[in-house]
Structure 1
Amino acid sequence: MERMMAIKPILTPWLTFLFSVACACSVANVYFAQPLLESMADSLNVQPGLIGMVVTVTQTGYAVGLFFLVPLGDLLNRKKLIIAQALLSALALIIAGFSWHWASLLAAMFFVGLMAVVVQVIVAYTALLAAPQRRGKAVGTVTSGVVLGILLARFIAGLIADFSGWRAVYLSSACLMLIMAAVLGKAIPATPLAPLKASYRTLMLSLIRLFIADATLRVRSVFALLIFTAFSMFWTSMVLPLSERSLSHTQIGLFGLAGIAGALAASKAGLWADQGMGHRTTGIALALLTFSWLPIAFAETSLLLLALGVILLDFAVQAVHVTNQSLIFAARPDAQSRVVGAYMCFYSLGSASGAIIATQLYAHWGWHAVCLAGAAVSAMALILWRWLQK
């Protein structure tokens, strides 16, 4: 059922930039809630220990979309798929912005996460359109847009919320998604491959077979599960101790800007993977990730140390993430959408579990419990990397 790529690479610098912007706008929808959790809890009369469910439900929707929607990129016209997801994202965001009940907000956020997987359809499309010797660099560049979207989402959400409330964040993003759908409709090429002659059921079964047969995909998926559990544990719960220090939404969101180093690392990690240094890059990044929890543990007393920890954590997570994607795309260039869908399911599961674990730990035992758990998860990933070297 596999297809051979019978086209010349057509990924231009302009298209790469556009894909990066589209990814930034789309992924931001998943992370807007993190600096807004306290405001949401107050607005909807939800207990602080439960408000992390907003992030968990969004990530659950993302995981469902990764498994059931992203593989469609190997079956359908990617251009039409991307535009349809952008339009449905706008609809889900509008519903979230007008939600006045806990249940309706959770339902809307599930669909926000479900449609946000357009990011991975775009990343897989990037890998398809790029020249093989430049694939890692191209994926790294577009992933830099993803990182910027994640980091700027917190700052932008905090800034808008301070002036207009948390609902304005989602309504503003809905307008942006509509504009993005129009721009992408005119700018991106149609899928340059012949249609895949297979049913959806056959497509999904092939995804499972790919995961069973491909050792690189399995190992890199486990790394994704662990690093994004740690990543989500920090970013979901960070707002809680900082809110107790009376920092505004905007001030809390500024810490997202401290992680811009992670975005800069992303494209470099892809280049290093192209040069055969992916395994070494992974080990160094995982060591930095584990160490980053030490300065993060001082968040309640030192904002400077917290900023240092944010830089280290975001650099490490994104370096591993870009390396992971570069390696799995190189291993299976004939099934880009399916491999990234399978891989990113573990990313989303890690993000969802990290969110609920962190808020529960903070509610019962405080910030240091969150940091100890985050360091433990990070160390597990480092131990796995070391074991694989034997």
Structure 2
Amino acid sequence: MPQKLSNSVLYLMAAGAGLVVANNYYNQPLLSLIAKDFGVSESEVSNIPLFTQLGYAFGLLFIIPLGDKLPRKKMVLTVFVLIVASLLGMALSPSLPILIVCGFLVGFSCVVPQVFVPMAAQLADDDNRGRAIGIVMSGLLIGILGSRFISGYIGEFFGWRSMYYIAAGMMLVYWVLLKWKLPELLPDFKGSYWQLMRSLFGYLRSENAVRLAAIRGGLGFAGFSAFWTTLVFLMEENFGYGSGITGTFGVLGIGGAVAATYIGKLSDQMNKNRLILFASLTMLLAWIIFEFSAFSIIGIIIGVLLMDMGLQSLHITNQNIIFSRNPEARNRINTIYMVGYFIGGALGTTTGAYAWEYFRWTGVASLGLFFTILIVIFHLSLRKKQSA
């Protein structure tokens, strides 16, 4: 008899999605502190978020497909061992290269939220799938945004290493809760690991909707990553603010994350192509505002709210589209989508750092505007190849 998704399990997964994914983003408000500690440049220290995002993409590619082959709960609890070890490695790193390697391992292991999203989609009924995805994604985005607020202040008052000791402790507590409450889901795939990985390319070739969703999501996250990688430098150079104030901007975006539950419900009812176009235009407006906000805190605040709401709407609608197809392979479908998503994030982190170094805030805002215009172009030109 199929298990039903209870609210307690759903909110446990949502909270865990936020806590685990936060580990990938604690570094961003701390970059100036780390650069000063190791005596390196802004572009050098930007390799920490870059390699963390690359690690996440590799974890999505090599770990998440196993959710279709291995018992889900056992797999999640095992991965948590690497999460704790890599966070302690960050806290103890004696040099920037070792810190970058540990950042890669943090990203590689902290892919657990991308197991929770297909689990929620599988356990929910068809009429509530968008709501379930929305709640888990709401927790995930709150974790991304709240992580910057928390790490900014902890870094400013206690040092950047303290954040990673605290994070390791939180992961141990959450492991206990998962062992107690998370249901076990048995796999559908019976083949070998090689056959599992080879099947990814089959879905990539055959599923137009997944390819288009990965392009849209990757470009949206590229702009998002460029913004958050460089915001700490803007705040310090143009406004004289430290990591604590920079992290506070993450709290503003939580409004967009809370809207995820509503967006998830809306994506169960509304034409998805229209919802994606609305989300893209919202992000476009945010980047236009950023263009004129190099010395305006109000402009940055408005832009953050619009950008986070637009990206969240785009992301949840993308996932509702792809999870409505191939229910026996939701982890592999999610792998394809999320690898594209985080490759986009790595692209945005790298190009954002160089845009800042050579053109300052105008370069970053123009880069984000370019990425968002590409979303609109790809969506309008390729949407007829998918049935939303």
TM-score scaled to structure 2, two decimals? 0.96
Report the Cα offset of residue 298 of structure 1: 3.8
Q: Does 1:212 align with 2:205?
A: yes
How far off is 1:195 after superposition?
5.5
Aligned partner letter, 2:210: L
Shift of 1:51: 1.4
Structure 2 partner of 1:265: 259
Distance 1:53 1:17 in 2: 33
* Residues in 1 aligned to 2:19 and 2:214: alpha-carbon distance in whole angstroms: 25
For 2:37 and 2:271, the matched residues in 1 are separated by 49
| Aligned residue identity for 1:246 | G
Over residues 102-135 of structure 1, what are the superposed CA-to-partner deviations in whole Å (9 max), with x where a residue is unaligned? Answer: 1110110000000011110111111111112211
Q: Distance in 2 between matches of 1:211 and 1:276?
A: 26
Task: Name the residue aligned to 1:180.
Answer: 174
Q: How far, CA to CA, are the matches of 2:161 and 2:379 in structure 1?
A: 42
Q: Which runs of 5+ in 2 are unaligned?
A: none
Q: Which amino acid aligns with 1:346?
A: G
Change in CA separation of 1:194 and 1:337 when aligned onto 2, cut-off 3 Å: closer
**1:4 paired residue number:** none
Q: How many angstroms apart in 2 are the aligned matches of 1:281 and 1:85?
A: 35
Could you say which residue in structure 1 is the equivalent of 2:246?
252
1:169 lines up with 2:149 in the alignment: no
CA-to-aligned-CA distance 1:335-357 (integer Å, 9 cap, x gap): 11111111000111011110111
Q: Distance in 2 between matches of 1:276 and 1:208?
A: 30
What is residue 388 of structure 1 aligned with on the other side? Answer: 382
Which residue matches 2:226? 233
Aligned equivalent of 2:290:
296
Separation (CA, whole Å) in 1 of partners of 2:38 and 2:304: 30
TM-score by length of 1: 0.96
Q: What is the alpha-carbon root mean square deviation over aligned residues?
A: 1.2
Query: Per the alignment, do residues 322 and 99 of structure 1 end up closer, same or farther by CA in structure 2, a change over 3 Å counting?
Result: same
Residue pairs, 1:333-352, within 5 angstroms = 333-352=327-346
What does 1:285-364 align with in structure 2 at a 5 Å threshold? Answer: 285-364=279-358
Cα deviation 1:71-101 (Å, max 9, x = unaligned): 0000001101111122210110000111011
Find the counterpart in structure 1 of residue 44 from structure 2: 50
Over 3 Å counting, the alpha-carbon distance change for 1:195 and 1:222 in structure 2 is closer
Return the offset for 1:9: 4.4
Q: How many residues align?
A: 383
Q: Tell me, yes or no, if the aligned pair for 2:145 and 2:254 is still in contact at 8 Å.
A: yes
| 1:216 Cα deviation after fit | 1.0
Distance 1:266 1:121 in 2: 18
CA drift at 1:267: 1.9
Q: Which runs of 4+ in 1 moved over 6 A?
A: none
